[in-house]
Amino acid sequence: MRIPFLPLILLISVGLTRPAFAQDPGSPGGPADLQIELNLVNLPTTRSLARHKGYARFTHRFARDLGIGDFSDLAADLFSLDNGSVIGFEYRFGITSALQAGVHRNTLGKTLQVFGRWDVLRQGGALPIGVSALASIEGLDNLQEGHQPAAGAVFSFTRGRAISLYATPMFVDGTREAELLSGGTDEHDHDHIAAADTGVIRQDEGDHAHHDGTFFVGLGTRLRLLPTVFVVGEISPRLAGHDPGEAGWGVSIEKWTGGHTLALTLTNFHGTTPGQIARGGTDALYLGFNITRRF
């Protein structure tokens, strides 16, 4: 699969461009803590949310596969900006400094997710890792069908100011039913250009008929390139249960601006929730972005 040069140039330019929002005056050299975000591309981190503080996240995944067509074809579609997209919005609130709850909704099957997270341990002093426990339930058509309860944990390890590592073992129930209800439409149809209104590639139902849930382990990292510029990568291999398609993965380049984080992403699927991660990705390449705000 040929990867066009322009999206890669855009990834670099986002990181090197001066932010549109004011820099945190207290941190002119960038954040000391690599835990700048509550998520990587899609996977969660162990960053805490202060008591009675809010967090909003806007996700956008363009529907066109960047691996289809040559440079002129991509340019004619403005590198996927002319095509459909999957849009998501999330809001979470810090009930205490260690307990947070939120809601996430995206247009992929009108998925609505309600979730909570408890920060069990925070790295520091004699503690080598941070640990958070999380649980959620999501469903298609605004939580009316295809329910997918999920439970898991996030383990984080940060080394100085340069690198942080994450592991997220998680079990999601109901993935097979949700994949069938979503239509199981092959995202490879229509040259990857049609808007993604349904799920990922449907495999032979007989191969997974005895699996209702999915166990996966999300693995991710965040690396500092410049004081306020980071590169992020993640992959979520399915280890047991219903596992259509390929493992979902994503990379991004982030620009930290104090209250905001701007990220340009490349992924092989459109999903942003645990259930959508469990249902897997494709062999395609999709451009997107995340914008977050803490307040």
Q: pLDDT (tens digit, 9 = 90+) per residue, 114-158?
A: 999 999 999 887 788 999 999 999 999 999 999 999 999 999 999
Assign 102 a pLDDT band (cuts: 50, 70, 90): very high
Average pLDDT value for the chain: 83
- SS3 per residue for the chain: CCCCHHHHHHHHHHHHCCCCCCCCCCCCCCCCCCCCCCECCCCECCCCCCCCCEEEEEEEEECCCCCCCCHHHHHHCCCCCCCCEEEEEEEEEECCCCEEEEEEEECCCCEEEEEEEEEEECCECCECCEEEEEEEEEEHHHHCEEEEEEEEEEEEEEECCCEEEEEEEEEECCHHHHHHHCCCCCCCHHHHCCCCCCCCCCCCHHHHCCCCCEEEEEEEEEEEEECCEEEEEEEECEEEECCCCECEEEEEEEEECCCEEEEEEEECCCCCCHHHHHCCECCCCEEEEEEEEEC
pLDDT surpasses 70 at 4? no
Share of the chain above pLDDT 70, in %: 76
Q: Summarize the confidence of residues 218-239 as an average pLDDT.
A: 97
Which one has a higher pLDDT value, 103 or 258? 103
Which one has a higher pLDDT value, 153 or 245? 153
Q: Summarize the confidence of residues 284-293 as an average pLDDT.
A: 94
Q: pLDDT at position 77, please?
A: 58
Question: CATH class for domain 5-294?
Answer: mainly beta
Is residue 226 within 8 Å of 102, Cβ to Cβ? no
Domain ranges of the chain: 5-294
Q: pLDDT (tens digit, 9 = 90+) per residue, 46-99?
A: 999 999 999 999 999 988 777 776 666 556 655 556 567 899 999 999 999 999
Is residue 239 within 8 Å of 215, Cβ to Cβ? yes
Q: pLDDT (tens digit, 9 = 90+) per residue, 180-195?
A: 988 754 343 333 334 3
pLDDT surpasses 70 at 238? yes
Q: pLDDT at position 209, please?
A: 54
H/E element, 150: strand 145-159
How far apart, in whole angstroms, are the C-alpha atoms of residue 58 and residue 292?
A: 6
